[in-house]
């Protein structure tokens, strides 16, 4: 292999791909038809999970709901049915339990069919600083926010690969791109979720499974109750996000095969700037102070965070 020629090729293609991405920012992307697809959403009993279920239902899909909250799922199922879902199924599932995930996955395959769109949305936040976090809650955070993705992929990805058709959606967080004080276990779990989704996406690409798409969602704080009391220093630049807005953006990203969805749009700039500050920890800290990140998690009025 010729080092010079391959390096030149990479440089030229990098310029081309960047120009292509820039142009597509101003050209509406063609949306795919997912009517009849089987969509499974974890953490579907409330919040973003419920809203996504309603959005997918409007597109004529078969909706499968997983959550530990049966009452919440019943309500989500009712709303999704009203929105036009072909059919709605719901199952009580603790996604942190590998055996339960595999057992229910087999049940879904028998009763519904192969899942073609998998949305890993279930998540928890302990809301304690690292040294105050009980080991059990740290372990639970990793199990729900990260390990559950391993088990659901193991269960549903083989059929997608066999048919070279499907979509994997990881609802991660901006905390999976930028570390935040007071959220050590949460950040670790979301960084891991992002890395896992990226790795699997590249693995599928290498195997020629270009029909199986990946979408990684990294939003800032969403007003769902998970981060009650969270505030933003500059609401115009970094607003607390409206759940309905986020749900619609996620569905659009799936329909247009968008690999990364960062919300708000300023997160793209912040993530890029963070990567440029690796050589200066002080500069990284300065940006955190400027954006008011530390105020949310260091003051006596720090937001109350809870499991969901």
- Just list the catalytic residues: 186
Give the SS3 label for residue 6.
Answer: helix
- Angle of helix 148-163 relative to helix 184-206, nearest 10 degrees, comes to 20
Angle at 104 between CA 100 and CA 107, to 5 degrees: 150
Inter-residue contact 120 to 52 (CB < 8 Å): no
Q: Comparing C-alpha atoms, which of 135, 170, 125 is closest to residue 308? A: 125
In sequence order, the 6+-apart residues with CB closer than 8 A to the CB of 251 are: 52, 55, 56, 59
267 phi and psi, to 5 degrees?
-65, -30
Contact at 8 Å (CB) between 66 and 95?
Answer: yes
CB 239 within 8 A of CB 283: no
Q: In whole angstroms, what is the distance from residue 93 CA to residue 256 CA?
A: 30
How do strand 260-263 and strand 212-219 relate by DSSP bridges? parallel
Helix/strand/coil for 134:
coil
List Cβ<8 Å contacts ≥24 apart for 208-212. 209/160, 209/161, 209/164, 210/164, 211/163, 211/164, 211/165, 211/166, 212/157, 212/160, 212/161, 212/164, 212/165, 212/166, 212/167, 212/168
DSSP 241: B
| 3-state SS, residue 152 | helix
């Amino acid at each position: 292999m010729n080092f010079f020629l391959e390096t030149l090729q990479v440089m030229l293609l990098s310029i081309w791909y960047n120009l292509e991405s820039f142009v597509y920012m101003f050209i509406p992307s063609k949306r795919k038809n997912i009517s009849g697809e089987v969509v499974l959403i974890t953490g579907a009993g409330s919040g973003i999970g419920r809203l996504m279920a309603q959005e997918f239902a409007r597109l004529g899909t078969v909706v499968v709901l997983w959550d530990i909250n049966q009452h919440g799922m019943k309500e989500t199922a009712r709303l999704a049915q009203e929105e036009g879902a072909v059919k709605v199924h719901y199952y009580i599932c603790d996604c942190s339990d590998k055996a339960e995930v595999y057992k229910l996955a087999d049940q879904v395959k028998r009763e519904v069919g192969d899942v073609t769109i998998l949305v890993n949305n279930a998540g928890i936040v302990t809301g304690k600083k690292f040294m105050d976090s009980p080991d059990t809650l740290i372990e639970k955070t990793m199990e729900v926010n990260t390990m559950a993705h391993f088990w659901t992929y193991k269960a549903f990805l083989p059929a997608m690969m066999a048919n070279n058709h499907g979509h994997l959606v990881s609802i991660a967080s901006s905390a999976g791109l930028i570390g935040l004080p007071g959220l050590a276990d949460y950040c670790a779990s979301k960084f891991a979720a992002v890395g896992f989704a990226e790795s699997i996406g590249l693995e599928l690409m290498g195997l020629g499974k270009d029909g199986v798409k990946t979408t990684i969602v990294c939003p800032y704080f969403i007003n769902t109750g998970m981060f009650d009391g969270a505030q933003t220093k500059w609401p115009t630049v970094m607003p607390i996000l409206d759940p309905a807005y986020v749900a619609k953006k996620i569905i659009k990203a799936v329909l247009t095969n968008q690999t990364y969805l960062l919300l708000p749009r300023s997160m793209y700039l912040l993530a890029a700037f963070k990567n440029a500050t690796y050589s200066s920890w002080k500069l990284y800290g300065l940006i955190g102070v400027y954006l008011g990140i530390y105020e949310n998690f260091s003051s006596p009025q720090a937001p109350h965070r809870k499991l969901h």
